[in-house]
Structure 1
Amino acid sequence: MLLPGFGLGALAGATDVLQAANALLAETGEAPRFGPAYTTVLLGGEVPPDRVSGECRVASASGAQLLARPLAEAGALDALFVVAERPFSAVPGSAPSAARAELLALLLQLAAAGRLLGGIGTGAAWLAEAGLLRGHRATVHWPQIGPLAERHPEVLVSQRVWEIDRGRLTCAGHQASRDLLIGWLGQRHGERFAQELAAQFGLAHVPAADERQHAPLGARLAAQQGGGSAKLAEAVALMEANLAEPLPTEEIARLVGVSRRQLERLFRQHLDALPSRWYLGLRLALAQRLLRQTSQSVLQIALGCGFASGPHFSNAYRGFYGRTPRDERSPRAAAWRAEGQPPQTANSPPATDDHALARDTAQPDDPT
């Protein structure tokens, strides 16, 4: 179901994975549960059908228009994904009441029939409006995590890129739809199928279920009560641009035009961390993504993230995440991620309360 202003990339990410899955299933001779193939039908939400053709023209965020069937002609559906990108605040009341009622009625009808329901971008907001996410883990594109959690406290709003919870599939925008569909199809057809599917898109590994969304620091600071700090944003931008060759704290302070003491005060005030600890977290977060998504060696990743040696990297990684880089790539860790539960050890940081974090998206994850 396409809502006006939807993301073309988000739609393509989902449909491309379904087409690739059909090709792989044809090779193995296995038929999907949903008919002979995963067939995509585009429905137009909120858009009245053309009087001549009877079809809806739904405009994407880029202005491109796609033809879609009106909701009244949805027919028998096995699953429905709501694809939207508009700010959550624009959802309630943004469409004529009749169009909203028709859309929500279709969602309720499919839920009553036990159909699979999904939300891409801000699509989960519509599922929540229909009361179909009570007690479910769900996610939306990062700017709308806070508003969704505030409006629907009964939803376990997550900061992860994608979530699968009891027949509800939700994800952020852009390439998150690709990762969500790969993860879902892996659950249906097995880990090996998911690996082959991921390889079709140039991914070295199946997208991890516990990957968190990365919100730009400037947006997080702007969301804070009282505003953020331009000097702080500039300092973090320097850090993000120099992960392979880390800059000393004194050099960062000099480049942004403050003293080291002032820089440390800004970091404590806005990010509740010392600059050196925050910098280390950025480098290790990049290392974690590379460990999960590429086939680079541990030493290559260590050097590329600014560590002088493999042992230095391993010790820092263990101190930060409670497990070694090799543990991160172990089959056991992959199983944990597939279940949406991060590996825990005696030295691991405490688990994060996603629902509480969702109410204040200005605060990034701080493993300290």
Structure 2
Amino acid sequence: MDTPRQLAVLLLPPCSMFGIGCLTEPFAQANRLSGKKLYQLSFYTWDGEPLPLSGGMAFPVSGALREATSFEQLFVLSEGVASFADSGLFTSELVRLAPRVTLLGGVHAGAWWLARAGVLDGYRAAIHWQDYPRFADRFPNVVASQRVFELDRDRFSCGGALAVLDGALALIGRDHGAELVESVAAALCAERVRGSEEKQRVPLLARVGERQPKLTEAVMLMEANIEEPLTTDEIAQFTGQSRRQLERMFKQHLDVPPSRYYLQLRLERARAMLRNTGKSVVQIGLLCGFSSGPHFSTVYRSHFGIAPREERFANETKPADAE
């Protein structure tokens, strides 16, 4: 890429500096670490006025969207599910711009605006888990998902917050490869880079409610003890209940026994490490509480239908823009 890729970001209220930074900072770091101007970002609002942020500051912009002259990719960024009143002109503008850009993105709640304009019909769109039911009901022609982000042909979407960071890293990887992505992630202190195939993690409280503090405590114990797993009896003891009570609680609210849920947590952690670290299969197995490499491989294949080495190979050889 000899000239910078021109990215336009349309800011619609409400927005925060954090929300904007999750999208833009990875591109800024890519420029810095590569020593090249890989990306040029320009910011716009609908009326060309500076955007009031949630923290009280005003974010300066280059002007109104209709004044933008040349950009390859357009991202619509908003952190709230906005009212669509009086949005006819804006909808028409999105319809006009959609075929003229190589990528049209909805960031945070920006996908709602794209869907309202009809430019997401027939595309997959990642929607924040809290908004997913409403979005799926309102826009049946969009294939709504609860993945971290979606990169579907010439459309991009992400559910919000740190998912935006993952999505931006994926776009950088598609343009410039995994090595630069790893450097950018390290500069941002990102523990790992999530792929588009990963689902958003719905908080346990959202699934079982606040009336199950012992269940939440048990799961937190599991998550904090991946390398040296606790026994079911130990978890029951630490949470102040009998083993039978613990098993009944997991079965009632999560539909699995505690041992199975714990195993799933460890295997999910192992899969993330296979995809995002250079540690050996044996090392990963030990770090996730498995006694040996063969034992880890057997359990992993039984759960995911693929061996750990095959998982890593498939991830390494997958094209950057593969779905």
TM superposition shift of 1:138? 1.0
Q: Distance in 2 between matches of 1:150 and 1:8?
A: 30
Where does residue 2 of structure 1 map in the other structure?
Answer: 11
What's the counterpart of residue 7 of structure 2?
none
The letter of the residue matching 1:109 is: R
SS of the residue corresponding to residue 41 of structure 1 reads: strand
For 1:168 and 1:247, locate their aligned partners in 2 and report how far apart those are by CA, in whole Å: 44
Partner residue, 2:5 = none
- Asked whether 1:307 is paired with 2:290, we answer yes
Moved more, 116-125 or 304-313: 304-313
Q: Does 1:165 align with 2:155?
A: no
* Pair 1:107–1:186, CA change in 2 (3 A): same
- Secondary structure (helix, strand or coil) at the match of 2:278 reads coil
Q: What's the TM-score once normalised by structure 1's chain length?
A: 0.74
Query: In the alignment, what sits opposite 2:78?
Result: 84
Which AA in structure 2 matches 1:291?
A: L
Instruction: Say if 2:150 and 2:196, in contact at 8 Å, map to a contact too.
Output: yes
User: Structure 1, residues 150-209: CA drift from partner, whole Å, max 9, x if none?
Assistant: 2222211122111111211111223333332332344345xxx34323323327987533
In structure 2, do the counterparts of structure 1 residues 149 and 19 end up closer, same or farther at CA, with 3 Å as the change threshold? same
- Name whichever of 311-320 and 162-171 sits farther off: 311-320
Distance across 1 between alignment mates of 2:316 and 2:198? 12
Report if the CA contact (8 A) 1:182-1:207 is conserved. no
The answer as to whether partners of 2:74 and 2:101 remain within 8 angstroms in 1 is no
% of aligned pairs identical?
Answer: 41
> Is 1:12 aligned to residue 6 of structure 2?
no
Which residue number corresponds to residue 183 of structure 2?
A: 199
What secondary structure sits across from 2:250 in the alignment? helix
CA distance in 2, matches of 1:250, 1:133: 50
Q: 1:64 to 1:261 in 2, by over 3 A?
A: farther
Deviation at 1:238, TM superposition (A): 1.9
2:43 matched to 1:42?
Answer: yes
Mapped to 1, the partners of 2:153 and 2:312 lie a distance apart of 27
Matched, 1:67 2:60: yes
2:131 aligns to what SS in structure 1? helix
Aligned partner of residue 250 in structure 1, secondary structure? helix
Aligned 8 A contact 1:85 1:121 in 2: yes
Backbone CA RMSD of aligned residues: 2.9
Counterpart Cα distance in 1 of 2:287 and 2:34: 38
Distance in 1, Cα, partners of 2:303 & 2:27? 37
Partner of 2:236: 253
- Paired residue for 2:111, among 124, 127, 133? 124
Deviation (angstroms), 1:70: 3.2
Partner of 1:324: 307
Tell me which residue corresponds to 1:346.
Answer: none
Provide structure 1 residue ranges, at least 5 long, that are not aligned to the other structure.
Answer: 28-35, 50-54, 342-368
Equivalent position SS for 1:181: helix
- Give the AA of the match of 1:333: N
Q: What is the match of residue 105 of structure 1?
A: 92
Q: TM-score, normalised by structure 2?
A: 0.83
CA 1:145/1:338 → structure 2, altered by over 3 Å: closer, same or farther?
farther
Deviations 1:268-291 (A, max 9, x none): 222221111111111111111112
Q: Deviations over 1:56-94 (max 9, x none)?
A: 23314x4443112334433444321112222x3xx235x
Distance 1:228 1:155 in 2: 35
More strand by share: 2
Aligned partners of 1:186 and 1:194 also within 8 Å:
yes
In structure 2, C-alpha distance between the alignment counterparts of 1:2 and 1:247, rounded to whole Å: 47
